Amino acid sequence: MPDYRVYILGGRELAGAILVPAAMIVFLAVLCYNSLIFSVLLAPYIPFYIREKRKKLLEARSWRLNMQFRDFINCISSALESGYSIENAIKEGYLDMKLTFDENELIMKEARLLIGKLDNNRTVEEVFLDLGERSGLEDIKSFADIFATAKRTGGNLIQIIKSTAEIIHTRVELKRELRTVIASKKYEADIMKLIPFGLLVYLRLFSPDMVAALYGNLFGIAFMTVILLVYLFLCKISDHVVKIEL
């Protein structure tokens, strides 16, 4: 069963996560030090880039699962209101989701797993608790805990699932609105990250005398190294500011 708290890069993803920073390192070595030799010193950036790439892909997958789970719970809630039992409501919710989602989507795979476990005499609360644990998402964990408590105490499952589905829907929509608002700011931040290198390229091409003192000596090497470290630190702060926790 997949653990959504961990992301394993595929072959193409790993190749891209290596080739992209490698090209960047060669570019920076020539631009900042005027020597390919310094690309060796910048090579430790590759594992850092791979780690950050993995984090971004993990966050994107978690967000997609969160959105799809909201739709799945809404389908289950509608089926319960139509008179289905919870087990049959899950199956009916899966059939409804087939009208919207491809069979290979995360939620469709999980729905088939849920149904398979139920057919093997696992309880509904067990399968939801398992999904909540594997997903690492607060919305799914909360739903699983509330559902398990309701089953133990004999609560009104239809009303509880409906209310929980509405809460999850509100939370997801709020996060989506925040992501939309912040998307433009992230775009602006990405452009700002390119400006220092654009200026340096311009100076090297059209005013080489202004930056000539920064190349071929220890002072220039030390200066460029400090600037690159500060630049990476500021980029990290920028990414953290616009990050939205799921």
- Write out pLDDT tens, residues 178-205: 888 788 778 888 888 889 999 999 999 9
Query: Does residue 2 lie in a domain region?
Result: no
Query: Does residue 246 lie in a domain region?
Result: no
Chain segment 91-101, per-residue pLDDT in tens: 999 999 998 89
The pLDDT assigned to 182 comes to 82
The pLDDT assigned to 232 comes to 86
CA dist., res. 110 & res. 108, Å (int): 5
Range of the domain at 32: 11-241
Query: Does residue 5 lie in a domain region?
Result: no
Q: Among 176, 189, 172, which Cα is nearest to 74's?
A: 172
Query: Does residue 4 lie in a domain region?
Result: no
The pLDDT assigned to 155 comes to 67
Residue 211, pLDDT above cutoff 90: no
The pLDDT assigned to 239 comes to 78
- What is the percentage of the chain residues whose pLDDT exceeds 70? 98
Query: Does residue 88 lie in a domain region?
Result: yes
Query: Does residue 3 lie in a domain region?
Result: no
> Rounded to 10 degrees, what is the CA torsion of 141, 146, 149, 151?
-110
Structure tokens at 10: 């595929």
Q: Give the mean model confidence (pLDDT) for residues 21-37.
A: 91
CB atoms under 10 Å from CB of 73, counted, come to 23
Query: Does residue 1 lie in a domain region?
Result: no
The pLDDT assigned to 245 comes to 58
The pLDDT assigned to 149 comes to 85
Q: What is the pTM of this model?
A: 0.83
The pLDDT assigned to 243 comes to 67
Residue 129, pLDDT above cutoff 80: yes
Q: Sorting pLDDT into bands at 50, 70 and 90, what band is 14?
A: very high
Handedness of CA 85, 87, 89, 92 (dihedral sign): negative
Give the chain's domain count.
Answer: 1
Query: Does residue 181 lie in a domain region?
Result: yes
Round the CA-based radius of gyration of the chain to a whole number and report it.
25
Q: Sorting pLDDT into bands at 50, 70 and 90, what band is 82?
A: confident
